[in-house]
Structure 1
Amino acid sequence: MKINVTFDLTPEELRRAMGLPDVQEFQQELFASMLEKMKSGEEGYDAMSLYQPMFNEGMNAMGQFQKMMLSMMSGASSSSSDKNNS
């Protein structure tokens, strides 16, 4: 038996239903501050330095995913060759 349940919610309604905090105002203030610094060309301010940690984490996650897939594929090929040898 299959039961499908569909919820038609906006992101705001889902956030409230899950009990998550509303951080929209904080995000807007942070973005405005970053934009102001970028526009003024503040000394020593490098926009790429903000994103560097995200790039590094993204690359690490991709490397871990590739290792997982490789180990799964090598495990599958070794188990199939074991079955063929039996």
Structure 2
Amino acid sequence: MKIKLDIECTPQEARIFFGLPDVEKMQEAIMKELQDRMIENISGLDPEKMMKTWLPASMKGFDQMQNMFWSSLSGDKGGSDSKE
């Protein structure tokens, strides 16, 4: 035997029916705090700082990174300084 029951109600009505707490004000406060933090972090982004953060400190520049990629693709384990 199957019984199918369709109930139309809003999420708030369902929470009240099941006795769940109303967390709408807390959720709004948390979302506002997250939004404020994200805006603060985005406004402080400097492309130079981001590149320094993303690239390892041992790399001097893009030429060195490019040489590293090319040497790894060609199978040269010693880098540009190795002699064949």
TM-score normalised to the size of structure 2? Answer: 0.43
Larger Rg: 2
TM-score normalised to the size of structure 1? Answer: 0.42
Q: Higher relative CO (CA 8 A, sep ≥ 6), structure 1 or 2?
A: 2
Q: Which has the higher helix share?
A: 1
